[in-house]
Amino acid sequence: MYIKKLMLLNYRNYRKLDIELGPAVNVFIGNNAQGKTNILESIYYCGFARSHRNSKDRELVNWNENNAYVSVGVSKDRLDKKIDINILKDGKKSIRVNSIKITKIGELIGVFNVVMFSPEDLKIVKESPGIRRRFIDMELCQLSNRYYYNLVQYNKVLNERNLVLKNRKIDEFILDVYDEQLSSFAEQIIKDRINYINNLNNHGKAIHKDITSGKEDIEFKYVSSVKDLENIKISMKEGLLKSRSKDVERRITSIGPHRDDFIILINNIDAKSYGSQGQQRTAVLTIKFASLNIIKDITKEYPVLLLDDVLSELDFTRKAYILNSIHGIQTLITCTGIEDISKYIKENAKVFKVKDGSVKV
């Protein structure tokens, strides 16, 4: 899988951009605040209909304009895809895949697979469980329509249950109904997450050893608020019933996959609390490259890899690992200079110069 063409109109600082990308390495060079990240963001947006920077959709539209347009032409083994997204100033958007308008985001996710590695990804290791849940949910959604459906339905029922908990008069029967529904969707979500964590371990352990020259072992462990992961549905129903009085008091649901997390252990030590900055960066690198391989295993094609200004943050060993591991994967790299990576770039690479919202080959 690779992008053949990218077109932007009134997207952030780009009035108009129309470029053809190479199937291998594409390097975007320029000073800071020139628009390099905006290019990668627009490609990520075509995969998920959202920015990796948590920006609101209206912020993607050039401030002098009423709408922005993003289009990518994607070459795939089975059927080429063309994704067109029109973003209005009020945040609404219209999405077409091969000229067919889609009405649900779930119809877009998975059409075009992408893995992005940016400096912000250090949050996966360092910050709250919500960041890690978002990561695993985004990865699973682009691999499974079933997972996306279960997650949407779970969140819908969860919100309805929480509304009931906020009422002064609690309807126990309705809570029983919601508990049954929540437990059913939770069972599928947690099973898929655990399977994904197992795949992270299967691929990540070898990758991490390669990056650290065998000095470190990495392990990912799923941590659930549901006690018995062998009998998830039953255990969750029992837990919801047991915690009902507490939920009523706090007016929020305290058990379920929306409370779960996964931990990252390096040499059996929690990387979040005790890992060095270098170890945390390496853990993120391991996660991203393991994700590439998981997507390849399931879809039979590598996704597009986006590397947003991460090489400058890494030491020589980790930088070399990345640049030696991207053969056969379309990779878009942003950086301020080519000197550090020129010896790794092959003849079929394309280099673009970015300045003030314009791109030149």
- Cα separation of 87 and 184, whole Å? 36
Name the residue among 83, 96, 101 with its Cα closest to residue 47.
Answer: 83
Average of pLDDT values for 288-306? 95
Write out the residue limits of the CATH 1.20.1050.90 domain(s) in the chain: 119-299
Average of pLDDT values for 129-151? 95
Q: What is the pTM of this model?
A: 0.92
The beta-strand segments (E) located in 35-149 are 67-75, 81-88, 93-97, 100-102, 114-117
Write out the residue limits of the CATH 3.40.50.300 domain(s) in the chain: 1-112+305-360
The amino acid sitting at 359 is V
Per-residue pLDDT tens over the stretch 185-202: 999 999 999 999 999 999
Per-residue pLDDT tens over the stretch 14-44: 999 999 999 999 999 999 889 999 999 999 9
Name the residue among 337, 132, 153 with its Cα closest to residue 220.
Answer: 132
Name the residue among 135, 289, 142, 127 with its Cα closest to residue 208.
Answer: 289
Fold entry, domain 119-299: Glutathione S-transferase Yfyf (Class Pi); Chain A, domain 2 (1.20.1050)
How high is the mean pLDDT of the chain?
92
User: Are the CB atoms for 186 and 233 separated by under 8 Å?
Assistant: yes
User: Are the CB atoms for 182 and 270 separated by under 8 Å?
Assistant: no
Per-residue pLDDT tens over the stretch 267-280: 999 999 999 988 99
Annotated binding site: 30-37
> Three-state DSSP class for 55?
coil
- Cα separation of 92 and 49, whole Å? 11
Per-residue pLDDT tens over the stretch 62-105: 988 999 999 999 998 878 999 999 999 888 999 999 999 998 89
pLDDT for the residue 344: 67
Pick the CATH number of 1-112+305-360 from 3.40.50.720, 3.90.1150.10, 3.40.50.300, 3.40.50.2000: 3.40.50.300
DSSP state of 67: E
Query: 10 Å Cβ neighbour count for 212?
Result: 20
Per-residue pLDDT tens over the stretch 216-251: 999 999 999 999 999 999 999 999 999 999 999 999
Annotated binding site for ATP: 30-37
